Structure 1
Amino acid sequence: MTRLFNVGDKVVYPMYGAGIIEAIEEKEILGEKKCYYVMRMPIGDMKVMVPIQSVDEIGLRQVVDEEVINQVIGRLKLESTDQSTNWNRRYRANMDKMKSGDIYEIADVVRNLMLREREKGLSTGERKMLENAKTIFISELALAKDLTEEEAIALLDNIIYEKNASI
């Protein structure tokens, strides 16, 4: 069954990030009329149209609440989880986590890649993945805690780098 969101709801679009539903519109595209959520993504300042009947398939969900964000922040403070030394395997595992749309999984990708970048450096592909994962994570963090993009970035950097400063 399709979940119904309302104008003003804060939602997450897996692989794109969090945004706010600004409108619900009916559009005719390729001769077919469909209803769409029109989402404004504050980070990157873009608009996305999501077909309402595809919401479940896409995995659109509410932005998590403050309690969940605080649990995620606690998880960010943990040591990096074991990851394959094989770049390809590690990349695929991280991509699966990001596609899940689960904030805990995305936080793991962000933490692990930020720490790996500092310790060993990242390949171009993993650096792009880290930037994408950070954008997705920061967009939800900002909406959940009512922060600006800059405040959310600073909070993430403080959590990751302060906790692991002794490494």
Structure 2
Amino acid sequence: MFSIDELVVYPAQGVGRVERVESQTVGGQPVDFYIVRIIANNVTLMVPVKNARNVGLRHVCPAEEASAIMESLADRSTFTGYTGQNWNRRYREYSEKLKSGNLADVAYVLKELLLIGGGKELSFGERRLLEQATGLLTLEVAHALGQDQEDVKNRINDLFEDVLKPKTPE
């Protein structure tokens, strides 16, 4: 399913590289594991080969999908604005989307938090989710498009320039 040195995505952890396949005995039975090193934080994960799809391990998205995700960030027609929903409920919803491993869900969280943050101060938890979503999305898109992660971050900052500007007191 995945080969050694291939870039893969693990939900909520991001892009990693399959370093090797290792066999270990678990409950008296031999079990093969993908050994995946996450690029962003150098963490090593052991993912059972037979269960890899079930836990959400997947290939890095194709370039076409990455381009479509970047274009979707520019579309603000789906943003409903800050609806008064408390930050705790949003935090749970956004956390679930980040854990899904779906890049479109990660882009949704990123866009929502950037736009909400343009209208009000984000809570500490929301700022952490924003950082996580930014890291997950920019690294995968960068690899999919063969670009530098900083360039992708800069493109996103340009898209949200109007809401990222520091507020000036009136």
Give the TM interval when normalised to the shorter protein.
0.7 to 0.9
TM-score normalised by the chain length of structure 2:
0.82
Measured on the aligned residues, the alpha-carbon RMSD in Å equals: 2.3
How big is the shift at 1:30? Answer: 7.5
Amino acid at match of 1:36: F
Unaligned runs of 5+ in 1: none
**1:139–1:102 CA distance, 2 compared to 1 (3 A):** same
Q: State how many pairs are aligned.
A: 162
Tell me: CA distance 1:164–1:6, structure 2 relative to 1, closer, same or farther (3 Å). same
Structure 1 residues 29 and 128: CA distance shift in structure 2, 3 A: farther
1:154 alignment partner in structure 2: 154
Distance in structure 2 (CA, Å) of the matches to 1:158 and 1:30: 53
**CA contact under 8 A between 2:116 and 2:122: conserved in structure 1?**
yes
Instruction: State the alpha-carbon separation in 2 of the partners of residues 15 and 101 from structure 1.
Output: 6
Could you tell me which of 73, 79, 82 is aligned with 1:81?
79
- Residue type at the aligned position of 1:81: F
Gaps of 5+ in 2: 166-170
Cα shift at 1:112: 1.0
Q: Residues 155 and 144 (structure 1 numbering): CA distance in 2 closer, same or farther, change over 3 Å?
A: same
Once the two structures are superposed, the pairs formed by residues 18-167 of structure 1 within 5 Å of their partners are 18-28=15-25, 33-79=30-76, 81-82=79-80, 84-86=83-85, 87-161=87-161
Mark the CA change 1:96 to 1:31 in structure 2 (over 3 Å): closer, same or farther. Answer: same
Aligned AA (1:49): M
> Sequence identity of aligned pairs in percent?
30
Partner of residue 9, structure 2: 12
The structure number with the bigger radius of gyration is 2
Q: Taking structure 1 as the reference length, what is the TM-score of the superposition? A: 0.84
Deviation at 1:118, TM superposition (A): 2.9
Q: RCO (CA 8 Å, sep 6+): is it higher in 1 or 2?
A: 1
